[in-house]
Structure 1
């Protein structure tokens, strides 16, 4: 059974960002060797729990993503492993930085997604999502997913826009930075689910959070 955003919030996890179907964090390791040691420890714990994260080892940090692919979202398994990772990091004197992570989706506005989705799935080498007719994903999970947002057919219209999923605590700083960089806040009617912003030429993007999504 997948957990709602409110249920995840009520778990009281610290150091993790709920980015819509996945829990993510960045562990500041300070060195490649410390990062590798953490990855080894997380891998052993994941084997014990029978639930495996996506891990990206870099210098000087490690990004960790948790989701239950078989359930199509977040479950108690992810919460349990998140607590384990937090404890392992703390035991090594390492800090979790959830404000440093985000998730990027590409959205194509289309009045007929059934007509265009097969083309993009084939071109990108992506796969469809079981139980979903509006999204395609990279089988390896390395590239951003593409989802097809229903729109009108009036011209001119912006066809593509990025959806950037971030932790709710990062929304206002990100908006402030975008406005200072010459952008505009186009629409906050759906906040705190998402905000629509535009660059100086009017190209739009959305900042998204897990909030108010059921």
Structure 2
């Protein structure tokens, strides 16, 4: 199936869902474990019926759901349809979708020689290469953050590691305000609304990332 662009996903106006670059995500506020378990079973039944299966993470009080079409390499109309179905099931159980509570982060290693260090990190972490991306390795089970390798200069001193924190575009202004109020600095916003570069009081940089202004189906590094 054809993957949807970020704008096409936004145009679907899915209540309670956010696009974090690697799929559609939401947090269902179930209030207790039993309701969450019942919702998992209901979602599982629908998923089996349509033969399209979400990633589910059940905790006491909430259920995190991620939807992506792995065979297509991104979000498709199947995910949009299943997202609506999950919303309907949650509503019947009196549970609320809270997409604003969900975020994702990747680890980025800034290096002048990706080819020499990438095999080491893949082996150390027990990761695999990410299909379609020659600058990233990933957890085979999808439970841990991906690690990608950004080209940098070799001059010293230089920062080695930074985080890419993916959030919904509507949350960026508040997150930047909170980070700067906590002593941080907005270093660079020239790539906004794709990503913003911020630094802590010691100058360590990280990025806030969104789906906006990216290639169709993009799921890769932002900064």
Q: Structure 1-normalised TM-score?
A: 0.97
1:200 corresponds to which residue? 201
Q: How far off its partner does 1:21 sit?
A: 2.4
Over aligned residue pairs, what C-alpha RMSD do you find? 0.9
Q: Following the alignment from structure 1 to structure 2, what is the Cα–Cα distance between the partners of residues 99 and 112?
A: 37
Q: How far off its partner does 1:131 sit?
A: 1.9
2:11 corresponds to which residue? 10
Structure 1 unaligned segments of length 5 or more: list them.
Answer: none
* 8 Å Cα contact 1:32-1:60 kept in structure 2: yes
1:82 corresponds to which residue? 83
Structure 2 unaligned segments of length 5 or more: list them.
Answer: 216-223
2:25 corresponds to which residue? 24
Q: Following the alignment from structure 2 to structure 1, what is the Cα–Cα distance between the partners of residues 159 and 22?
A: 26
Q: How far off its partner does 1:13 sit?
A: 1.1
Kindly provide the CA deviation profile for residues 102-134 of structure 1, in whole angstroms up to 9, marking residues without a partner as x.
011000111221221111111100010122101
SS in 1 for 2:143: coil
2:133 corresponds to which residue? 132
Q: Following the alignment from structure 1 to structure 2, what is the Cα–Cα distance between the partners of residues 131 and 180?
A: 39
Q: Structure 2-normalised TM-score?
A: 0.93
Superposed, which structure 2 residues align to 1:19-168 within 5 Å? 19-168=20-169
Q: How far off its partner does 1:174 sit?
A: 0.8
SS in 1 for 2:75: coil
Q: Give runs of ≥4 in structure 1 deviating > 3 Å.
A: none
Kindly provide the CA deviation profile for residues 124-169 of structure 1, in whole angstroms up to 9, marking residues without a partner as x.
0001012210111000011000011111222111110000000111
* 147-156 or 192-201, larger mean C-alpha shift: 147-156
* 8 Å Cα contact 1:26-1:63 kept in structure 2: yes
SS in 2 for 1:171: helix
1:211 corresponds to which residue? 212
Q: Following the alignment from structure 1 to structure 2, what is the Cα–Cα distance between the partners of residues 145 and 74?
A: 18
SS in 2 for 1:123: helix
